[in-house]
Amino acid sequence: MIEARELRKEYGGFVAVEGSSFSVERGEVFGVIGPNGAGKTTTLKMLAGLLEPTAGGAEVAGFDVGETEMRHHLGFLPEESPLYEEMTPKTYLRFFADLYDVDADVATERMNETLDDLDLQHRDRQLGDMSKGMKRKVAIARSLINDPEVLIYDEPASGLDPLTTNYIIEFTEQLAEDGKTVIFSAHNLFHVESICDRVAIMNEGEIVARGDLDRLQSEYGETTYHVYTTVEVPDSVRENGRYHRVVDSMAAVEGTREQAQDAGGEVVDIRTEQSSLEEVFLNVAESGRQRQ
Amino acid sequence: MNLRKLLRIARWEVTKNAGGLDRRTLVVVVVAIALVGVVAPVVGVGGVGVDEGIYRVAVDEDSQYYDVVANDSTFVVREPSDRAALEDGDIDLWIDGTGIDPADTRKGAAAFEELRESVTGYNNRQLSKETNQTAAFPVSVTVQFREQSQLSPGGDGDGSQSPGGDGGEQPPGGDGPTGDGGETPGDPPDTGGVDDSGEDPVDDGTDTGGSTGEGSGPGPSPGGFTGPLSEDELSGSPADINPPFPFQSLVLAFIFVIPLNFLIQAYGSTMLSERLNRRGELLLVSPVTRLDIIGGKTLPYFAGAMAVEGAISVGLVYVARGELGGLVSALAIAPLVLLFLGATFLGAMFARSFKELTFVTVTITVVLTSYAFVPAIFTDVGSLALISPLTLVVRDLQGEAVALQEFVFSTLPPFLSAVVFFGLGSGLYREEDMFDQRSLSGKVLDALAGPISRPYHVGVMTIVLIPFVFVIQLLAIALLFATGDISVPLILIVVAVVEEIAKSLHIYAAYDHNRFESTTRVAIILGIASGVGFFLGEKIALLAQLVGLPELATAEAGLSGGIVEGPIILLFLLAPLALHTVTAAVSAVGARTGRRSYVFGLAAAIALHFLYNFTVVESLV
């Protein structure tokens, strides 16, 4: 549904994105993460047809991103979506529905349905009088007014309170379950981890890692083993009448077992722990710095 | 471009602000506009009577000055009963049998001066009623204004002067002193040379020397004995000679320009507001083209302006000529409206804040109002005034016909300039340029480099810039031609600077954006492409010849398109081509390595261009 081929964007002598390639399947939720200035927004804007790639290309819903027709199949939500504050949600959404060639009756039905789902009240109030969260909901409703197959959301929950953030993340997850293809960026990696099937990690304009979360965790993360014994072993601490030792390999687990048996005790529990996406991301960023 | 979506955006542009205006404000705005619409033509035609009844004059009905005072609305007649009123300041002038005493105040002195002028006018009116006009006006002068290049020593022999015509036969084209019998004061002034036969159609030799003369038709005269708004005081005496200045029509024409200055404030604001806080980003990602957006947002302002200008046209023509009309004025003003909008649009694309936009719109107001208004002052002098479309409006208001080629000459350059402005601005109407805070110069270079990716694009861009060059050159001619002997060199300098910048700035922009390899060979190719483009585009100057503009020496120098004949025509055809390619190549070679070397290259090109033009003008003019 989304195919990016060696996307490159250069501003003067500054390379914002270098050789980004990835694909997103229909119904998939694809996350793009990275530190500030990594090239996430530039990548998403090239996919939305807002920025012309300096080199490379991309297709969205089977259309080249430069084609106007592609935009009929796309819902784009920029990180900042200042609205025309003199308008009301209704007039604003109807205006965009007209631009997307959506039939008036269909547009009205779709608008009401989406605003109901988003639990947006005060639909005749001017947008300028609304809270940031309400405005964000209107912006999301606008991105859905043409019932697009592909959604590109750049920091959809940026600057919102936790309650609204959770609401919007759950709503985005629901959109994916309804068959939409979603690609989005976020600073809050917990959100990415909770709803994304696959992610791409960007750093300094390049995709430094990509794949499903399990693969990234195994490649860039760590598995730690928490071994609990009945007797004291080296590097252990006493917890609730047991001794707790953290090791990073199965060989070390085996060594701990032998040490416990030599001391007349035994291993009573072993727990494994995977790195979070945040730790994976930090490890990738750190390895990038070391390469430099 | 999708017309339906363009119109939808236009409708949105009109209605999106509707919710922000309460009804009371709306009513106040409508009433204010209506008042301006009604009052402006009345004020324009009649003027504001600010000097009515400002001087109080004590004069007796028996005084010889009574009629003078009573017939001048500047004065209020008071009964001369108590002379103390003069000292108290209640009376400004005291007239009795012993003389005229002004109050010992500045107002009293002004009243005295006003009375002096009023007496002169009164005397002229009285004299004009005399049956023996020769006795009343022993000296009569007819002034004929001609193009500068048509002037020649030794007189023109139009036989238009006569201190006391004898009514007899005159040799065709006979010289002045024994012409056709002179002018009758109060008649429409003679444009000169009409009656070449020397025969006076009325004067049969039995009258006393006056005659009906030849009029130039209704409306203000192109010169001669026409005082602004005071035709009723004409005597034909040398004191009445005034320059040809269509004051009244010019004031009326200025009314057309006023709404445009308000219009661009609103238009600039709406364009800039799309850029601030990324408001316009969502329109850019919608399935519409940037032309749909720009066209849709511009259309309401253009339509609104044309509605206002159309109403002003109809109203003023009706007031000025007492008939329905104004189509020529409305059509003439349309490219000016587009030019104001186009310049504002480009300015709004460059400005980074409303503060900068204010500077931009004020600059546009000053420059374009000067462009429209200054040449129109010379409407009755010659074809030079046709540089401005406002000249067509003045002529329309005077009831004069406008030829098609004159209309095209006046309106095509501003129209094409507006197209260039919109074209350059639309190049910036994209994500990368709309929402960043780059410098003005950076955005200018962006706008110029945007469409260039191949060498021939350089030539095309040069052609696109020609109308802009043409307008600046014509404006320079209008502003500088009155500077006397130095006008030609000054204009040649302006021409060289403007043309060389137009030929090279986009080459520099292209190099700045790494569009081309920075080798000398490529730079020369780009220079040749630009030079050839300019040579082709410059032929638009031929339009000037259709209305005889090159008859002015300064215009000929400025447009460098003199009419040549004979075997040297090939030389004169190829020499400009060589000049433009060489100078453009010089600039391009400089442009390939950076800003400083571009400035040096440009300076060298300008110097070469000036020397060439100066040599050609010196040998031809």
What secondary structure does DSSP assign to B135-203, as a single string?
HH-S---------GGG--TT--------SS---S---TT--GGGSS----TTSPPP-S-S-TT---SS-
Q: Which of A62, A81, A80 lies closest to A72, judged by CA?
A: A62
Other CB atoms within a 10 A radius of the CB of residue A125 amount to 13
pLDDT confidence band for B343 (50 / 70 / 90): very high
Residue of A nearest to B430 (CA): A50
Residues 6+ apart with CB under 8 A from B257: B336, B369, B372, B373, B390
How do residues B437-465 score in pLDDT, each as one tens digit? 777 778 888 888 888 888 999 998 998 88
Closest residue in B to A68 (Cα) is B287
Chain segment B550-599, per-residue pLDDT in tens: 454 455 555 544 444 455 556 666 778 888 999 999 999 999 888 899 99
Closest partner CB to A45 (pick from B279, B286, B431): B431
Whether B66 and B77 have beta carbons less than 8 Å apart is answered as yes
- Please answer yes or no on whether A68 and B289 come within 8 Å at the CB atom: yes
Please provide the average confidence, as pLDDT, over all residues in chain A.
85
Residue A249 has pLDDT above 70, yes or no: yes
Of A277, A272, A275, the residue nearest A198 (C-alpha): A277
ipTM associated with this complex: 0.80
Percent of chain B surpassing pLDDT 90 = 18
Rounded Cα distance, B286 and A183, in Å? 18
User: What is the C-alpha separation between A193 and B552, in angstroms, rounded?
Assistant: 79
Three-class DSSP category at A75: strand
The DSSP element (H or E) to which A223 belongs, if any, is strand A223-229
In order of A151, B36, B130, B156, B359, the CA distances from B183 in angstroms are 85, 41, 14, 18, 53
pLDDT of residue B44: 54
Rg of chain B in Å (alpha carbons): 30
- Strand A242-247 relative to strand A223-229: parallel, antiparallel, unpaired? antiparallel
pLDDT at A75: 92
Question: Which of B82-96, B171-185, B391-405 comes out lowest in average pLDDT?
Answer: B171-185
Nearest CB to B19 within list A74, A126, A142: A126
Using a CB-CB distance cutoff of 8 angstroms, which residues of chain A are in contact with residue B281? 50, 78, 81
Tens digit of pLDDT for each residue in B83-123?
888 888 888 888 887 788 888 888 888 889 889 888 888 88
pLDDT at A95: 93
Q: How many CB pairs under 8 A join A and B?
A: 64
Q: What is the mean pLDDT of residues B233-245?
A: 53
How far the first Cα of chain B sits from its last, in Å, is 49
Residues of chain B contacting A42 with CB distance shorter than 8 Å: none
3-state SS, residue A275: coil
Secondary structure of residue B100 in the 3-state scheme: strand
CB contact at 8 A, B522 and B591 = no
- Residues of chain A with Cβ-Cβ distance to B287 below 8 Å are 68-69, 71-72, 99-101
| pLDDT score at B210 | 36
Range A20-47 average pLDDT: 89
Distance to chain B for A279, nearest Cα, Å: 34
Task: Name residue, tokens 């990690």.
Answer: A201
Stretch 421-440 of chain B: residues touching chain A, C-beta under 8 Å: 431-432
Beta-ladder partners of A74: A150
Q: Which of B563, B553, B560 has its CA nearest to residue B487?
A: B553
Nearest-by-Cβ selection for B286 from A71, A81, A84: A71
| Confidence (pLDDT) at A164 | 77
Which pair of tokens denotes residue A130? 């609304």
pLDDT class for B288, splitting at 50, 70, 90? very high
pLDDT of amino acid A258? 92
Measured between CA atoms, the residue of chain A closest to residue B429 is A50
Query: Which residues 201-220 on chain A approach chain B with CB closer than 8 angstroms?
Result: none
Nearest to A1, CA basis, from A183, A191, A173: A183
Q: What angle do CA B216, B219, B223 make, to 5 degrees?
A: 60
Say which residue, A93 or B251, is predicted with more confidence. A93
Which of B275, B286, B436, B512 would best serve as a mutation to test chain A binding (most A beta carbons within 10 A)? B286
Among the listed residues A276, A284, A277, the one whose alpha carbon sits nearest the alpha carbon of residue A199: A277
| Candidates A69, A86, A98; nearest CB to B17 | A86
Residues A10, A15, A21, A25: is their CA dihedral positive or negative?
negative
CA distance B8 to chain A (A): 8
**pLDDT tops 50 at residue B157:** no
DSSP result, B552-568: SHHHHHHHT-----STT
Using a 10 angstrom Cβ sphere, with 0-12 exposed, 13-18 middle and 19 or more buried, the burial of residue A241 is exposed
B223 neighbors B244 (Cβ within 8 angstroms): yes
Partner residue opposite A87 with nearest CB, options B5, B19, B289: B19
Q: How close A216 gets to chain B, by Cα (Å)?
A: 33
CB contact under 8 A, B16 and A84: yes
8 Å CB contact of A101 and B287: yes
CA angle B599, B603, B606 (to 5 degrees): 135
Q: How far is CA B597 from CA B2, B228, B304, B498, B621, in A?
A: 45, 55, 47, 19, 35
CA of B350 vs chain A CAs: smallest distance (Å):
18
Interface residue A83 vs chain B (CB under 8 A): yes
- Higher-scoring residue by pLDDT: A125, B177: A125
Whether A243 and A228 have beta carbons less than 8 Å apart is answered as yes
Count of other CB atoms within 10 angstroms of residue B366: 11
Task: With residue A61 as reference, give the H or E element that holds it.
Answer: none
Report percent pLDDT > 70 for chain A. Answer: 97
Q: Does A101 touch chain B (CB under 8 A)?
A: yes
Asked if residue A16 has pLDDT above 70, the reply is yes
Confidence band (pLDDT; 50, 70, 90) for B64?
Answer: confident
pLDDT at B233 > cutoff 70? no
Q: Can you list the domains of chain A with their CATH numbers?
A: 2-218 (3.40.50.300), 223-274 (3.30.1490)
Hey, is the C-beta of A248 within 8 angstroms of any chain B C-beta?
no
> Three-state SS across A102-164?
CCHHHHHHHHHHHHHHCCCCCCCCCHHHCCHHHHHHHHHHHHHCCCCCEEEEECCCCCCCHHH
Question: Rounded CA gap, B397 and B461, in Å?
Answer: 38
Q: Does A78 touch chain B (CB under 8 A)?
A: yes
The answer to whether residue B26 scores a pLDDT higher than 50 is: yes
Nearest chain A residue (CA) to B293: A99
User: Which of A81, A86, A99 is closest, CB to CB, to B5?
Assistant: A99
If you measure CA to CA, which chain A residue comes closest to B289?
A68
Q: Which of A19, A31, A18, A26 is nearest to A2 (CA)?
A: A26
| E runs forming strands in B219-297 | none
Question: Which is it for strands A198-203 and A29-33: parallel, antiparallel or unpaired?
Answer: parallel
| Dist. CA B234–CA B458, nearest whole Å | 59
Q: Which residues pair with B224 in a beta bridge?
A: B242
Higher-pLDDT residue of B234 and B417 is B417
Q: Does the pLDDT at position A144 exceed 60?
A: yes
Specify the pLDDT at position B334.
93
Q: Which helix (H) or strand (E) holds B310?
A: helix B290-321
Find out whether B362 and B261 touch, Cβ atoms under 8 Å. no
The residue of chain A nearest to residue B433, with distances taken between CA atoms, is A51
**What sign results for the dihedral spanned by CA atoms A169, A173, A179, A181?**
positive
B98 vs A: CB within 8 A: no
Structure tokens at A10: 């250069």
Q: How far is it, in rounded angstroms, from Cα A225 to Cα A96?
A: 54
